[in-house]
């Protein structure tokens, strides 16, 4: 099976997680791909591959004889896809020898343009994979899943000497709970790499500190003819709350290490309203300051309109994994060398988001993140290239080789 064939077989299995669910996994359909992956793991040589009761897939490739004492390394990807956009049925479009032009996505009316995606010029001549514009592609993170399994197959087929290798595929990463039930004992690795980034060659060990924030506004609805000095319009108060945030600190206007407040959705009427945010910053100090800003807004609104008008709930999501990776920086240095062996200069731009690796690093498993060769995740403009995915698989093989050389 080619890497492209493997990838296409996975994207056609719907696995979007459900952010409104409290079950594990959040969507029962995730088990379908999980069981398929366990069988495919066995087919490439991971004899003990299995799915646990919470939809986590684990397996181990025993060390080459004589290499049992090497560091135990692992590779992790998530099998779920984002709930932000439809994930089925995926009608993948394959464009061989891509010419660099704008890409019309079927009859959807959507176009991947060079104006919005200037990296397209770097993909000229490659085999480009998109959807028809009606669904996600699912490269986040089925590209990572495919690349790991393709690499394991290459390691086994070619007889590359390697130490113990662990593999895991997780559910519910897209709703932020995949590390909650990850069994470090079952995974049994000293270090690991999530394969869940963007452009091939990324070796990322910095990410945002992150939380979610919800403002619930309790209004006081009364006939407008009698409202003078008495009505509290919850929707108007919600608008006032958002206006208190710094207007330039939004995703559209920030980059690199700059943090933001991102209003993801809102609803309301005169009686009740809600504002949902995600809050991000690379600096722990600035991140705490952002949370304090939200608390100050809650206090200000309640002083103005009365206690209980605004109710703020803040939930921490993940922290910057650099804190845990710096002390064991060899895990990054080996990935850098593996990437250069594949003919690519490693990219170290900080993640303006988070991965399983951020949570796992704080659980005791240092876990940088590798690129997948995919772009424009979480929407209908998602795309990747076969050549990019093949390079990622090569990097994974190189990582296994390099760790085997170190005692």
Locate the domains of the chain by residue range: 3-206+320-404, 209-318
CA atoms of 98 and 106, how far apart (whole Å): 16
Q: Tell how far CA 111 is from the center of its chain.
A: 24
Residue with tokens 């590779």: 75
- Angle at which helix 3-11 crosses helix 30-43, to 10 degrees, equals 160
| Other residues' Cβ atoms within 10 Å of the Cβ of residue 237 | 21
- Separation between Cα atoms, residue 195 and residue 3, nearest integer Å: 15
Are 308 and 302 in contact, with CB atoms under 8 Å apart?
yes
Each residue's pLDDT tens digit in the chain (407 positions)? 899 999 999 999 999 999 889 999 999 999 999 999 999 999 999 999 999 999 999 999 999 999 999 999 999 999 999 998 888 889 999 999 999 999 999 999 999 999 999 999 999 999 999 999 999 999 999 999 999 999 999 999 999 999 999 999 999 999 888 999 999 999 999 999 999 999 999 999 999 999 999 999 999 998 898 889 999 999 999 999 999 999 999 999 999 899 999 999 999 999 999 999 999 999 999 999 999 999 999 999 999 999 999 999 999 888 899 999 999 999 999 999 999 999 999 999 888 877 788 899 999 999 999 999 999 999 999 999 999 999 999 999 999 999 999 97
Q: Give me the active site residues, please.
A: 80, 173
Q: pTM surpassing 0.85?
A: yes
pLDDT at 198: 94
- Report CA torsion sign: 9, 12, 18, 19: positive
Q: Provide the terminal-to-terminal Cα distance of the chain, rounded to the nearest Å.
A: 34
Residue 220 DSSP label? B
Q: Which CATH number fits domain 3-206+320-404: 3.30.830.10, 3.40.50.300, 3.40.630.10, 3.40.30.10?
A: 3.40.630.10
Q: Which helix (H) or strand (E) holds 83?
A: none
Q: What pLDDT is attached to residue 338?
A: 98
Cα–Cα dist 69/53, whole Å: 31
What CA–CA distance (Å, rounded) separates 66 from 247? 60
Beta-ladder partners of 347: 202
Q: Tell me which residue of 201, 245, 247, 225 sits closest to 348, measured CA to CA.
A: 201
- CATH 3.60.20.10 fits domain 209-318: no
282: alpha, beta or left, given left = phi > 0 and alpha = psi -120 to 50? Answer: alpha
- Decide: helix, strand or coil at residue 225: helix
Residue 302 structure tokens: 């309640």
pLDDT for the residue 318: 85
**Residue entry with tokens 């592609």:** 137
User: Which residues, 6 or more positions from 291, have their beta carbon under 8 angstroms from its beta carbon?
Assistant: 211, 213, 279, 314
For every residue of 237-254, DSSP letters joined together read HHHHHHHTS-TT-SGGG-
Tell me, yes or no, if the two domains 3-206+320-404 and 209-318 fold the same way.
no
CB within 8 Å of 147: residues ≥ 6 apart: 3, 77, 195, 372, 373, 389, 392, 393, 396
Residue 61's CB is within 10 A of a number of other CB atoms, namely 23
Tokens read off for 68? 């049992």
């Amino acid at each position: 099976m080619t890497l492209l064939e493997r990838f296409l077989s996975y994207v056609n299995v719907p696995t979007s997680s459900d952010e409104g669910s409290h079950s594990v996994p959040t969507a029962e359909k995730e088990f379908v791909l999980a069981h398929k992956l366990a069988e495919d793991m066995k087919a490439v040589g991971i004899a003990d591959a299995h799915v646990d009761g919470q939809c986590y897939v684990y397996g181990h490739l025993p060390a080459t004889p004589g290499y049992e004492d090497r560091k135990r390394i692992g590779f992790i990807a998530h099998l779920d896809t984002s709930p932000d956009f439809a994930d089925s049925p995926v009608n993948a479009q394959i464009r061989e020898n891509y010419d660099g032009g704008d890409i019309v996505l079927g009859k959807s009316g959507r176009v991947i343009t060079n104006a919005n995606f200037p990296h397209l010029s770097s993909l000229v001549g490659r085999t480009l994979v998109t959807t028809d514009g009606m669904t996600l592609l699912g490269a986040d993170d089925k590209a990572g899943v495919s690349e790991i399994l393709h690499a394991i197959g290459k390691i086994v087929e070619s007889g590359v000497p390697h130490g113990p290798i662990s593999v895991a595929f997780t559910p519910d990463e897209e709703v932020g709970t995949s590390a909650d039930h990850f069994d470090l004992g079952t995974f049994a690795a000293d270090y690991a790499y999530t394969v869940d980034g963007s452009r091939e060659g990324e070796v990322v060990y910095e990410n945002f500190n992150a939380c979610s924030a919800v403002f619930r506004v309790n209004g006081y609805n009364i006939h407008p003819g009698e409202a003078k000095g008495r009505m509290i319009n919850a929707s108007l108060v919600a608008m006032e709350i958002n206006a208190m945030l710094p207007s330039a600190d939004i995703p559209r206007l920030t980059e690199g290490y700059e943090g933001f407040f991102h209003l993801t959705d809102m609803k309301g009427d005169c009686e009740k309203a809600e504002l949902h945010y995600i809050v991000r910053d690379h600096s722990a100090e600035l991140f705490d300051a952002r949370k304090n800003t939200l608390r100050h807004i809650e206090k200000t609104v309640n002083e103005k309109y009365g206690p209980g008008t605004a109710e703020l709930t803040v939930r921490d999501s993940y922290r910057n994994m650099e804190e845990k990776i710096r002390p064991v920086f060899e895990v990054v240095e080996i990935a850098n060398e593996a990437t250069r062996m594949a003919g690519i200069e490693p990219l170290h731009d900080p993640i303006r988001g988070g991965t399983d690796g951020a949570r796992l690093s704080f659980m005791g498993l240092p876990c940088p993140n590798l690129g997948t060769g995919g772009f424009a995740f979480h929407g209908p403009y998602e795309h990747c290239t076969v050549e990019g995915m093949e390079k990622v698989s090569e990097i994974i093989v190189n990582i296994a080789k390099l760790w085997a050389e170190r005692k």
